[in-house]
């Protein structure tokens, strides 16, 4: 190898050593910012649910989002999710709260998920107040404008399944 090629190779290798750590750090900072953004979205969604603000609550879902609610068929699309959630949010005794345990963002920065615990209170068809606690998993996709929207949302109960009589 000639001295000229060796020096070129050495300069290239040094540039990787010098600049690659800063790329990784920038990527880590972007992921941390995305985690903070999603935690903030979940805080705002929780507030919307507690306030029974249907439009604000549904605004966090993508147009093609899918909702998997316990004991109900899959609900596809923001409009259908709005219609479904309107039933619950219009109930006087209904409440939904949740606490985020973890948020993870993909290396590519285009997908993320969160999970945590939830509490739901509603009235059954016989007028009896029911309280449930469970967990959830939510998948987010970063939109073209840089915002995050829910694309899949699933929750299930920690309570035992009813025993058939």
With beta carbons less than 8 A apart as the criterion, state whether 131 and 121 touch. yes
* Whole-angstrom distance, CA of residue 24 vs CA of residue 16: 12
Q: List, for residues 42-85, the tens digit of each pLDDT value.
A: 999 999 999 999 999 999 999 999 999 988 999 999 999 999 99
User: What does 30-45 look like in DSSP terms, one character per residue?
Assistant: HHHHHHHHHHHHHHHH
Q: Please give the model's pTM, rounded to 2 decimal places.
A: 0.79
Phi and psi angles of residue 33, each rounded to the nearest 5 degrees, phi first: -65, -40
Q: Which domains does the chain have, with CATH numbers?
A: 3-157 (3.10.450.50)
């Amino acid at each position: 190898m000639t001295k000229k090629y060796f020096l070129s190779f050495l300069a290239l290798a040094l540039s990787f050593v010098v600049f690659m750590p800063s790329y990784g750090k920038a990527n880590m900072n972007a992921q941390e910012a995305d985690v903070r953004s999603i935690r903030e979205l979940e805080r705002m969604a929780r507030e919307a649910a507690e306030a029974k603000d249907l439009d604000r609550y549904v605004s966090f879902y993508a147009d093609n989002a899918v909702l998997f609610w316990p004991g109900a068929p899959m609900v596809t699309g923001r409009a259908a999710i709005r219609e479904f959630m309107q039933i619950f949010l219009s109930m006087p005794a209904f409440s939904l709260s949740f606490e985020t345990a973890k948020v993870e963002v993909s290396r590519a920065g285009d997908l993320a998920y969160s999970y945590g615990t939830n509490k739901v209170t509603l009235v059954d068809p016989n007028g009896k107040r029911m309280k449930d606690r469970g967990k959830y998993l939510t998948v987010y996709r970063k939109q073209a404008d840089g915002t995050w929207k829910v694309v899949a949302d699933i929750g299930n109960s920690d309570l035992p399944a009813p025993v058939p009589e």
